[in-house]
């Protein structure tokens, strides 16, 4: 009897060690806590992204700050943060290599707080613009650093869920600003927003550094402590540390210049996929739909302005993004992108028809306002469940370790520059093509995006970061490593492509 019990204990221990190598033993809760804490930076980013909606009329029409702000000036106030974000995408990659992921994100508290202080005490439009630029610097850095950090600390089975935390917290930040902004003036709203980065810094200070960063620096005992924090005190980290050592040695041995890296098939495909996803994300019409949601809701309300319109839209974003975080590791990335883009195309087609009928004869749409409202809600929900969070998640998964520092920021710069461009030229497009024409254009782009995902984007659900690189390079997985299923990573040299 005793021998049987001992045999079962040894078998159980053997399974535990194998699972260790596979990276799937240990506790998941600490990883969720660290992922949520890192995404606090996304909450701060969400507040500055949503800030323009409740402050437009108080600043441009009511003159709440005591100095005039024209519509053209306010458009720059709203869009210049995108330039600040684009500017920071490359430096943050090198900061993460130099001082670590954790301290790079903590350093971004400074530009965020400085930006809010400039806005809170603004005496002219220039101070508003400079403040918004600094907010973009901090927010843009988080768009690179937070997904990288969560991808590195997470085990494959929950990497997708943790990856969606970033977009989820952005939408929570936007909803928070919409709700608070409906009841307070601009200065009080800005003060409240300025406190959020400080709270993030106070919480994230107690989170662990990425174990991958410690291994890169040869600080193996600290890497072990980090893994113990993330996986639990009972976790046997030795196998994973050894795995990461060999991965780091291989990456350093294969270190290549940037120009050479961009000649590699896997890197070229990863970059093409990332830039494509960012292109279709920004040109899906998300900014136009958000811009028009108040007018559409007012139309459905008999022409009366609905103060709750933006709050409704923000709530839909949060719920849909939360749903995405639950299902992304179950149904996969591709299916979410396909459904998301196709339904966004349907939504913008409905809006194009609505505006076309309204342009021809406003009386025709008197009984169709509900359809326009439904289209807006459907669009926001579908964007938030797929094309909102998944592109950022996949950027954290697609690039190999030896090219991550300079390849991933390219996608971030591209995204923010597109956001700036769309924000600035949308009014010109509307004047040239009309409302209906703009939404027809967006629906066509979304249909092209659906085809792009179907033909080009691979499924990364449940795959190790190394196997993703093998797929991008055109290799065939073994029979026991089918696409879309987590493969057993029980070979010590199986992870040379961990995210940097």
pLDDT mean across residues, the chain:
80
Report if residue 272 sits inside a domain.
yes
Q: Look at the chain and report how many structural domains it folds into.
A: 2
Task: Say what the pLDDT of residue 463 is.
Answer: 76
Q: Compute the average pLDDT of residues 462-479.
A: 73
Q: How far apart are CA 410 and CA 261, in angstroms?
A: 13
Give the lowest-confidence range in 6-20, 161-175, 205-219, 362-376: 6-20
85-136: pLDDT as tens digits: 999 888 888 899 899 999 999 999 999 999 999 999 999 999 999 999 999 9
Question: Are 312 and 203 in a shared domain?
Answer: no
Task: Say what the pLDDT of residue 339 is.
Answer: 93
Write down which residue in 164, 181, 207 finishes a domain.
207
Between 314 and 21, the higher pLDDT residue = 314
CATH of the domain at 131: 1.20.1250.20
Question: Are 273 and 374 in a shared domain?
Answer: yes
Question: Are 202 and 290 in a shared domain?
Answer: no
Question: Are 466 and 343 in a shared domain?
Answer: yes
132-146: pLDDT as tens digits: 999 999 988 887 788
Question: Are 74 and 203 in a shared domain?
Answer: yes
Write down which residue in 207, 231, 250 finishes a domain.
207
Report if residue 229 sits inside a domain.
no
Question: Are 199 and 296 in a shared domain?
Answer: no
Task: Say what the pLDDT of residue 291 is.
Answer: 66
Report if residue 220 sits inside a domain.
no
pLDDT class of 277 with cuts at 50, 70, 90: very high
Task: Say what the pLDDT of residue 78 is.
Answer: 84
User: Structural domain of residue 316, as residue ranges?
Assistant: 258-475
Residue 306 has φ and ψ, to the nearest 5°, of -105, 110
Q: Compute the average pLDDT of residues 182-211.
A: 94
Question: Are 309 and 423 in a shared domain?
Answer: yes
pLDDT class of 193 with cuts at 50, 70, 90: very high
Question: Are 192 and 295 in a shared domain?
Answer: no
Report if residue 3 sits inside a domain.
no
Is residue 199's pLDDT more than 90?
yes
Is residue 251's pLDDT more than 50?
yes
Task: Say what the pLDDT of residue 19 is.
Answer: 38
Is residue 21's pLDDT more than 90?
no
- 3-state secondary structure string across the chain: CHHHHHHHHHHHHHHHHHHHHHCCCCCCHHHHHHHHHHCHHHHHHHHHHHCHHHHHHHHHCCCCCCCCCCHHHHHHHHHHHHHHHHHHHHHHHHHHHHHCHHHHHHHCHHHHHHHHHHHHCCCCHHHHHHHHHHHHHHHHHHHHHHHHHHHHHCCHHHHHHHHHHHHHHHHHHHHHHHHHHCCCCHHHHHHHHHHHHHHHHHHHCCCCCCHHHHHHCCCHHHHHHHHHHHHCCCCCCHHHHHHHHHHHHHHHHCCCCHHHHCCCHHHHHHHHHHHHHHHHHHCCCHHHHHHHHHHHHHHHCCCCCCCCHHHHHHHHHHHHHHHHHHHHHHHCHHHHHHHHHHHHHHHHHHHHHHHHHHHHCHHHHCCCHHHHHHHHHHHHHHHHHHHCCHHHHHHHHHCCHHHHHHHHHHHHHHHHHHHHHHHHHHHHHHHHHHHHHHHHHHHHHHHHHHHHHHHHCCCCCCCCHHHHHHHHCCCCCCCCCCCCCCCCCCCCCCCCCCCC
Of all residues in the chain, the percent with pLDDT exceeding 90 is 27
Is residue 182's pLDDT more than 50?
yes
Question: Are 188 and 269 in a shared domain?
Answer: no
CA 155: distance to chain centroid? 19
Is residue 480's pLDDT more than 70?
no
302-345: pLDDT as tens digits: 555 566 777 888 888 888 878 877 777 788 889 999 999 999 99
Question: Are 285 and 163 in a shared domain?
Answer: no
Between 380 and 24, the higher pLDDT residue = 380
**What pTM did the predictor assign?**
0.77
Q: How far apart are CA 135 and CA 193, in angstroms?
A: 11
Task: Say what the pLDDT of residue 412 is.
Answer: 80
Between 494 and 177, the higher pLDDT residue = 177
pLDDT class of 294 with cuts at 50, 70, 90: low
Report if residue 228 sits inside a domain.
no
Q: How far apart are CA 432 and CA 438, in angstroms?
A: 9
Report if residue 85 sits inside a domain.
yes
Task: Say what the pLDDT of residue 405 is.
Answer: 66
332 Cβ contact partners less than 8 Å away, ≥ 6 residues apart = 459, 461, 484
Find the distance separating the first CA and the last CA of the chain, reported in whole Å. Answer: 50
Question: Are 194 and 272 in a shared domain?
Answer: no
Task: Say what the pLDDT of residue 24 is.
Answer: 54
Question: Are 265 and 181 in a shared domain?
Answer: no
Report if residue 12 sits inside a domain.
no
Task: Say what the pLDDT of residue 16 is.
Answer: 34
Report if residue 1 sits inside a domain.
no
């Amino acid at each position: 009897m005793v021998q049987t019990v001992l045999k079962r204990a040894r078998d159980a221990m053997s399974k535990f060690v194998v699972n260790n190598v596979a990276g799937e033993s240990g506790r998941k809760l600490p990883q969720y806590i660290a992922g949520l804490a890192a995404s606090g930076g996304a909450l701060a980013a969400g507040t500055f992204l949503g800030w323009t909606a409740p402050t437009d009329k108080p600043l441009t029409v009511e003159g709440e700050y005591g100095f005039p702000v024209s519509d053209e000036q306010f458009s720059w106030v709203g869009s210049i943060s995108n330039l600040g974000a684009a500017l920071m995408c490359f430096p943050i990659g090198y900061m993460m290599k130099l001082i670590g992921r954790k301290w790079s994100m903590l350093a971004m508290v400074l530009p965020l707080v400085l930006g809010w202080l400039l806005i809170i005490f603004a005496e002219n439009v220039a101070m508003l613009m400079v403040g918004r630029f600094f907010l973009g610097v901090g927010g843009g850095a988080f768009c690179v650093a937070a997904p990288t950090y969560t991808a590195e600390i997470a085990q494959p089975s929950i990497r997708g869920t943790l990856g969606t935390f970033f977009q989820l917290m952005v939408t929570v930040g936007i909803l928070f600003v919409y709700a608070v902004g409906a009841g307070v003036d601009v200065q009080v709203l800005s003060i409240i927003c300025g406190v959020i980065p400080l709270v993030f810094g106070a919480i994230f200070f107690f989170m662990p550094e990425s174990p991958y960063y410690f291994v890169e620096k040869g600080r193996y005992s600290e890497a072990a402590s980090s893994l113990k924090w993330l996986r639990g005190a009972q976790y046997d980290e030795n196998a994973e540390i050894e795995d990461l050592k060999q991965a780091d040695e291989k990456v350093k041995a294969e270190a290549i210049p940037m120009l050479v890296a961009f000649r590699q098939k896997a890197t070229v495909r990863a970059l093409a996929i990332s830039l494509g996803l960012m292109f279709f994300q920004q040109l899906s019409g998300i900014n136009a739909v958000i811009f028009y949601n108040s007018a559409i809701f007012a139309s459905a309300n008999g022409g009366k302005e609905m103060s709750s319109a933006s709050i409704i839209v923000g709530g839909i974003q949060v719920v849909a993004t939360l749903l995405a975080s639950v299902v992304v590791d179950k149904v996969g990335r591709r299916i979410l992108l396909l459904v998301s883009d196709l339904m966004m195309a349907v939504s913008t087609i409905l809006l194009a028809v609505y505006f076309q009928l309204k342009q021809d004869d406003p009386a025709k749409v008197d009984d169709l306002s509900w359809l326009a409202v439904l289209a807006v809600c459907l669009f926001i929900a579908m964007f938030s469940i797929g094309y909102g969070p998944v592109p950022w998640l996949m950027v954290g998964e697609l690039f190999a370790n030896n090219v991550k520092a300079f390849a991933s920021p390219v996608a971030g710069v591209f995204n923010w520059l597109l956001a700036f461009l769309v924000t600035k030229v949308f009014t010109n497009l509307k004047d040239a093509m009309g409302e209906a024409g703009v939404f027809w254009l967006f629906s066509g782009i979304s249909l092209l995006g659906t085809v792009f995902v179907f033909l080009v984007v691979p499924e990364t659900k449940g795959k190790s970061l190394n196997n993703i690189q093998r797929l991008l390079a055109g290799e065939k997985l073994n029979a026991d490593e089918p696409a879309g299923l987590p493969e057993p990573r029980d070979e010590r040299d199986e992870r040379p492509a961990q995210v940097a």
